[in-house]
Amino acid sequence: TPRVFSGIQPSGNLHLGNYLGALKRFVETQEQGIETVYCMVDMHAITVWQDPARLARATRELCAGFIAAGIDPERSILFNQSQVAEHAQLAWIFNCVARMGWMKRMTQWKDKAGKNQEEASLGLFAYPALMAADILAYHATHVPVGEDQKQHLELTRDIAAKFNHDYGVDFFPLTEPVIEGAATRVMSLRDGSKKMSKSDVSDMSRINMTDDADAIAQKIRKARTDPHPLPSDHAGLEERPEARNLVNIYAGLADMEVEQVLAEYGGKQFSEFKPALAELAVEQLAPISAEMARLMEAPDEIDAILARGAERARAIAAPILKRTYEIVGMVGA
């Protein structure tokens, strides 16, 4: 039976890329009646420095974002990673399965560590092994993610395959990434060659899930574009990264195909398209941000939801970890 797992880091500024690439997909999966496990990966977040008070706030805000976007904590399991120790325990086993060479090839490691790899945390380097543990602790079969996580998902499969091979078992599944929709890679509003990201210093580069209607409209109005009208088909978006990004965002928000959007707006100027996009974005995002703000007024209720979710998560992960320990030969497992 299929089981879906995915996570988002509580590293602040949940944005439109996270929403279209991940959160919106998570809700759709839940609506299909598939078993869904969603995690606020706070242990991943601290691979780069996080102020403790901000981490706690971002974790609760992210939980509020999940719920406001449509995740039902009864139907889905919703929790934060650090409350379920099995993630860290299984990650250690996987640290011993994964190879240094595999990790060194990860583009996220290369991007985030930059030139100064000696100063990066060991956790940042080992990040993909913890991610494999997140997924495989639930024997998850499918993981909805944005395009940027594809390489990590491939590594998760490599780790599962090597574990199975080394121990002569058929225990961990080879998990499938699910990278779907028109907006699997939302780009910065200021630079069509960079992905929209929580950590971009320019707040104008992204639409935050907490932005109000005015902020959303202003950011879209000021989004970088080229001077040409929109093309009438997909091919006309090649070499036009900023135009393509805005069209993809429209398609993602409206649940339309890119071709459908272009059938409507092809030949029109950005002065016409941008206000339509802003209106659509406000219509879809403003209720979510209002609901997030409302939920944040009751942090105790959020904590209770996370605690209950963690209990349900542990009920699945604990027997899988126990079996893993037995396979590895750990006495007393």
> Which contacts of 146-149 are long-range, i.e. CB under 8 A and separated by 24 or more positions?
146/17, 146/18, 146/21, 146/22, 146/179, 146/184, 146/185, 146/186, 147/21, 147/179, 147/184, 147/185, 148/21, 148/108, 148/185, 148/195, 149/177
Q: How many CB atoms lie within 10 A of CB 315?
A: 11
104 is known as an active-site residue:
no
Please give the annotated binding residues, written as ranges.
Answer: 9-11, 17-18, 134, 146-148, 186, 195-199
Q: What is the distance between the alpha carbons of residues 138 and 3, in angstroms, rounded to a whole number? A: 8
- Edge-to-edge strand list for the sheet holding 3-8: 76-80, 35-40, 3-8, 142-144, 176-178
CB 84 within 8 A of CB 317: yes
24 is known as an active-site residue:
no
37 CB-side CA count, 13 A: 26
Binding positions for ligand AQP, 6-35, rule CB under 6 A: 8-9, 11, 17-18, 21-22
Residue nearest ligand AQP, CB atom distance: 21
Site string for ligand AQP, 82-101 (x = CB under 6 A): --------------------
DSSP 59-94: HHHHHHHHHHHT--TTTEEEEEGGG-THHHHHHHHH
Site string for ligand AQP, 130-149 (x = CB under 6 A): ---------------xx-xx
Minimum distance of ligand AQP from residue 42's CB (angstroms): 11
Minimum distance of ligand AQP from residue 184's CB (angstroms): 6
Q: Is 81 in the site for ligand AQP (CB under 6 A)?
A: no
Binding positions for ligand AQP, 157-216, rule CB under 6 A: 184-186, 195-199
User: Of the two residues 183 and 327, which places its CB atom closer to ligand AQP in the complex?
Assistant: 183
Q: Is 68 in the site for ligand AQP (CB under 6 A)?
A: no
Annotated catalytic residue, options 24, 162, 198, 219: 198
Q: Is 65 in the site for ligand AQP (CB under 6 A)?
A: no
Please give the residue ranges that form the binding site for ligand AQP (CB under 6 A).
8-9, 11, 17-18, 21-22, 145-146, 148-149, 184-186, 195-199
Residues noted as catalytic: 112, 195, 198
